Amino acid sequence: MQDFEPILAPAKPKQKKLPFGWPPALKLSTLNPVPQRRRLRRKSTASQDNVAALKTSFDVWESIKSLQTRKWKIYDIQHVVCLGFILFSLFILPSAPIIKTAVLLALGGLLLMPITQQFFLPSLPIWTYLLYFFASRFIAPEYRPHIWVKVLPALENVLYGANLSNILSAHSHPVLDLLAWFPYGIGHFALPAICSAILFLFAAPGSTPVFARAFGYMCMLAVTIQLIFPCTPPWYEKAHGLEPAHYGMEGSPAGLARIDKLFGVDMYTTSFTTAPLPFGAFPSLHGANAVLEALFMQYYFPKFKYFFIFYVGWIWWATMYLNHHYAVDLVGGGLMAAIAYYISRVRWLPRPQLEKRTRWEYEYVEFGDRPKTYDEEYGSASAYGLGLLERRTASDSDEWTLGSSSSLDSLSRGDTVCGSSSSTPDILSPTTPNDDFKHVVLGLTPQGDIWNGGRLARESELSDVVVLS
């Protein structure tokens, strides 16, 4: 009987432990509600070395094999669009089958060789725009729409109360001519290449291809609008009044003729007189290109943003002073550039890391802007609450926000996250949770529900709150 006493005896109740430790169901992996694809991944040395690397191979078969295994996406339709514009431009050009075939073969070779593909594929929209622009002169007049003579002057008077271009061009002076000639006659043609080179050398890797595509597609759209909605520029109103215009009329260098006369050379008279689109006033590509270049450059070089703004105002004044565009043309072009820049920045533009001086200093690259969550805008409790993970104070060193866009931006600025500097992103030092974290997350003190109509029931730093699902 004594042998069965331990079995028959009632079990002693286990003593409850004080909740000073981590709850058993609470894991570190659950403390970060940021999706895995949004978290900062550790980079290997090999990937860091290849961020700014360039292709050096001439093997065409590499590109062919990559095309065979490529998973095509909806964005790849852009290449079909470029091919369509190229074929259309070659079709309307005068008959020269050998030259056209040679152009297609040369373009195919440049796009298939890896060493040239990395430059010509992103810039393909620009080459397509140039071909499309110069070939548009060969569109037969019977297929062209009516030329609008009175629309732009009327819009100018309605929107601004006067014709700004005629006012600015009423009085000319050789000094003003030179000041207007530099941005309009030189900067407009040279700055796209200069900005591309600066972005390639000193901005984040991948920024130049995004700029090239935005620039090319914007110009292609502008030329299409000019073909569908042809309008006469201010020089036509000064020379012919409001008389109807017809295709076959020559263009005019307008104020640039004074530059040719001043230097004694024919730089602009012949080229503007025989321009492919003499009635392509709206939208102004001089205005659009300047705005797009300024937006991209100020994004990567914010210290010079006031100079970029000054340049946009400078070329806009020069455009109206030389009697080539109305103010409404410049506004239309500027809006197109702003839309192209915004789409590029949100989805594809690499984020700048301002402490990096050249592309070869980048260890990793992040693309696009992080969209704000609903609760970040309105404090709504129905959203995921990820906006609470972004610190609103000057420092951004909360361990639990690691992987959110705020911590990624702080890494880009060189701030310290979890005791680790941005120069060594693979080494993270653990930090001890503070009292506020224990109070809210572990529930050691009765602070009430952390959600209170989208607001916290207690006044504490928002970055110290972690939302558990």
Are 90 and 103 in contact, with CB atoms under 8 Å apart?
Answer: yes
- Give the range of the structural domain holding residue 78, as residue numbers without chain letter: 53-121
Task: Establish if 409 belongs to a structural domain.
Answer: no
Q: Does residue 76 lie within any of the structural domains?
A: yes
Which whole-number Å values give the CA distances from 83 to 104, 126, 406, 456, in the listed order?
Answer: 10, 12, 40, 55
Burial group, residue 93, by CB count within 10 angstroms (0-12, 13-18, 19+): middle
**CB neighbours of 33 closer than 8 A, spacing ≥ 6?**
384, 385, 386, 389, 466, 467, 468, 469
Same domain, yes or no, for 212 and 334? yes
Structural domain includes residue 62 = yes
DSSP letter string, 341-404: HHHHHHHTPBPP-TT--SGGG-S---BSPPPPPHHHHH--TTS--GGGGS--SS----GGGTTS
Q: Is residue 378 part of a domain?
A: no
The interaxial angle of helices 285-300 and 305-321, nearest 10 deg, is 170
Same domain, 174 and 323: yes
Which of residues 367, 385, 404 is at a domain's end?
367
Question: Residue 202: inside a domain, yes or no?
Answer: yes
For residue 259, give the nearest of 267, 249, 251 by alpha carbon: 267
Same domain assignment for residues 103 and 168: no
Give the pair of three-digit tokens for residue 70: 């490529």
Which pLDDT does position 405 carry in this prediction? 37
Please name the residues in contact with 413: beta carbons below 8 A apart, sequence gap of 6 or more.
Answer: 353, 354, 355, 422
- Same domain membership, residue 317 and residue 200: yes
Residue 344 to residue 349: CA distance in whole angstroms: 6
Question: Token pair of 415, please?
Answer: 């701030």
Residue 406: predicted pLDDT: 37
292 shares a domain with 171: yes
Q: Domain for residue 243, yes or no?
A: yes
114: in domain = yes
Q: Do 445 and 62 touch, CB atoms closer than 8 A?
A: no
Q: Block means of pLDDT (10 residues each) for the chain, length 469 residues? A: 54 57 51 53 44 84 88 90 94 88 91 91 94 94 93 90 87 93 94 95 94 96 96 92 90 93 92 92 95 96 95 96 94 96 93 91 84 42 38 36 37 40 40 45 39 38 39
Residues 114 and 151 in one domain: no
Backbone angles phi, psi at 206, to 5 degrees: 100, -5
Find the distance separating the first CA and the last CA of the chain, reported in whole Å: 54
Examine the domain organization and report whether 104 and 205 are in the same domain.
no
User: How many domains is the chain built from?
Assistant: 2
**415 burial via Cβ count (<10 Å: 0-12, 13-18, 19+):** middle
- Residue that terminates a domain, selected from 367, 401, 420: 367
- Residues 225 and 264 both lie in one domain: yes
**C-alpha 451 chain-centroid distance:** 37
Which pLDDT belongs to residue 23? 54
- Asked if 39 contacts 366 with a C-beta cutoff of 8 angstroms, the reply is no
Domain end among 340, 367, 394: 367
Say what the pLDDT of residue 279 is: 94
Q: Does residue 205 sit in the same domain as residue 60? A: no
In a domain, 336, yes or no: yes
**From the CB of residue 311, how many other CB atoms can be counted at a distance below 10 Å?**
19
Residues 68 and 175 in one domain: no
> In the prediction, which pLDDT does 453 show?
37
Q: Are residues 160 and 201 in the same domain?
A: yes
Same structural domain for residues 148 and 230?
A: yes
Q: What is the CATH number of the domain that holds 331?
A: 1.20.144
d(CA 361, CA 202): 9
**Burial category of 403 from C-beta neighbours within 10 Å (exposed 0-12, middle 13-18, buried 19 and up):** buried
Do 215 and 223 form a contact (C-beta atoms < 8 A)? no
